[in-house]
Amino acid sequence: MELFNVVSVEEAKEIIDKSFTYELDSEKVNILQSVSRICFEDIKAECNIPEFKRSTVDGYAVISKDVFGASEVMPSMLELKGEVFMGKVPPSDIICGECLYVPTGGMLPESADSVVMVEYSHKLDDNTILIYSPVAMGDNVIQIGEDIKNQDIVIKKGNKLRPYEVGVVASIGISEVTVYKRPRVGIISTGDEVVSCGVKPILGEVRDINTYLIWSLLLEDGMEPVSYGIIKDDYELLKSATQKAFNECDVVLISGGSSVGTKDHTLKVIASFDDGEVLVHGIAIKPGKPTIIGKHKEKIIFGLPGHPLACCIIYKVLVQNYIYSLMLKSEKIYVTNAVMSINYHKAKGREEYLPVELETIEGIVIAKPVFGKSGIITAFSKAWGYIKIEKNVEGLKEGQAVGVYKL
């Protein structure tokens, strides 16, 4: 029997990095359709934000030295020269001894350098304001360009456009942005025993899970999944579907058929293409050891394990990492700090990704392993996330601090 020539997870990532230079195209989209898209180029401001001095409070625009030392015992007395209306230029400038009423967000007159909150004032008559508190130069004022300066890069290439970034882009007057095209990812499920989820299986058959699992993971990550259906354990059928997926997609994923059985054809299909190359067959990881990484026409193909949890873990650890790299996606991954609920033993020599559910007890987050045999399919749905256990670690102890990654 052929044996796996396993590599570590890091070695697999290095092989991918060295073997592929594939690039995605770009497209322009309206900012209303840009949420969750990835910037193809830096977005630069062509204006200042704000473009005028603005008040951050309701109050009186003043020259700060006029209210130096002001107090309730000895207020400063200023002449009221009028009111600033929202969206309008101040009716006049002010000189020493004068002030203008300005609402929150209103424009300050040129010579005003600060704003006194209305709570620290009293209107003595229509023309006279008493100020009971001093302010320093710049107090309660947003200066020209304090938020965004002209020619600032406001969104960097590779950043994901969240609703907040869309708001920033709108503020500088940009209605279209250049983003990476959504990667098209082909999904092929294999197996004589696999039937569609809408079909009632006969004894010995199982419903397709991985197509729907992978499809949902890709949608969650902003990709464009393409399903090529369920392919029986037939070499010619699998090769035809794989060729079609390569022609139409940026990445190809084959679920099942990655082991070393007589009906596992993924390796033979990859090797059969004129420039096909199997780069990895077997990774020192649990779950997910029988993973394949191949290449055809500068495009990558992953042979994913048929077990749903292993399929999900390999997607999170390798597939997602590669697809993100195509778009230079810079998204930080944060871990949740927890402590182990039990002692857990693992074999040395391979990384293990242990699914866990979380529970908070007396303010402490407890990580409880979700156990399941190889054929159990609900382990990943019960888990909140997973713990990465390094390959040379033999296990975890009850009460040990661990980091949990969101699944």
Dist. CA 52–CA 89, nearest whole Å: 10
Q: How confident is the model at residue 258 (pLDDT cuts 50, 70, 90)?
A: low
CATH code, 54-142? 2.170.190.11
The class level of CATH for 336-406 reads mainly beta
In this prediction, residues 334-359 reach a mean pLDDT of: 93
Residue 373: per-residue pLDDT:
62
Residue 323: per-residue pLDDT:
95
Yes or no: is domain 26-49+151-180 CATH 3.90.105.10?
Answer: yes
289-325: b or e for each residue (b if 16 or more CB lie within 10 Å)?
bbbbbbbbeebbbbbbbbbbbbbbbbbbbbbbbbbbe
Residue 282: per-residue pLDDT:
94
- How many contiguous H segments (helices) and E segments (strands) does the chain have? 8, 28
377 Cβ contact list (under 8 Å, min separation 6): 209, 307, 308, 309
Q: Which one-letter DSSP state was computed for residue 85?
A: P
Residue 133: per-residue pLDDT:
97
Superfamily (CATH) of domain 9-24+182-326: MoaB/Mog-like domain (3.40.980.10)
Residue 382: per-residue pLDDT:
86
In this prediction, residues 192-215 reach a mean pLDDT of: 92
Query: In this structure, are residues 71 and 157 in contact, taking their beta carbons and an 8 Å threshold?
Result: no
> Looking up tokens 């099942």, which residue turns up?
256
Per-residue pLDDT tens digits for 368-389: 999 866 556 677 788 999 999 9
In this prediction, residues 188-211 reach a mean pLDDT of: 92
Residue 259: per-residue pLDDT:
59
**Pairing between β-strand 59-62 and β-strand 114-117 as defined by DSSP bridges:** antiparallel
97 — alpha (psi -120 to 50), left (phi > 0) or beta?
A: left
Residue 347: per-residue pLDDT:
82
Residue 1: per-residue pLDDT:
38
Which structure tokens are listed for 94? 């002010």
Dist. CA 166–CA 176, nearest whole Å: 10
pLDDT above 50 (res 116): yes
In this prediction, residues 81-108 reach a mean pLDDT of: 97
Dist. CA 149–CA 132, nearest whole Å: 35
> Looking up tokens 């309008």, which residue turns up?
88
> Interior CA angle at 66 toward 63 and 71, to 5°?
125
Query: In this structure, are residues 131 and 60 in contact, taking their beta carbons and an 8 Å threshold?
Result: yes
Per-residue pLDDT tens digits for 133-190: 999 999 999 999 999 999 999 999 999 999 999 999 999 999 999 999 999 999 999 9
Tell me the chain's radius of gyration from C-alpha atoms.
31
Q: How confident is the model at residue 5 (pLDDT cuts 50, 70, 90)?
A: confident
248 backbone dihedrals φ, ψ, rounded to 5°: -110, -10
Q: How confident is the model at residue 352 (pLDDT cuts 50, 70, 90)?
A: very high
In this prediction, residues 389-404 reach a mean pLDDT of: 94
Domain boundaries, the chain: 9-24+182-326, 26-49+151-180, 54-142, 336-406
Which structure tokens are listed for 46? 């062509």
Residue 334: per-residue pLDDT:
86
Dist. CA 114–CA 118, nearest whole Å: 13
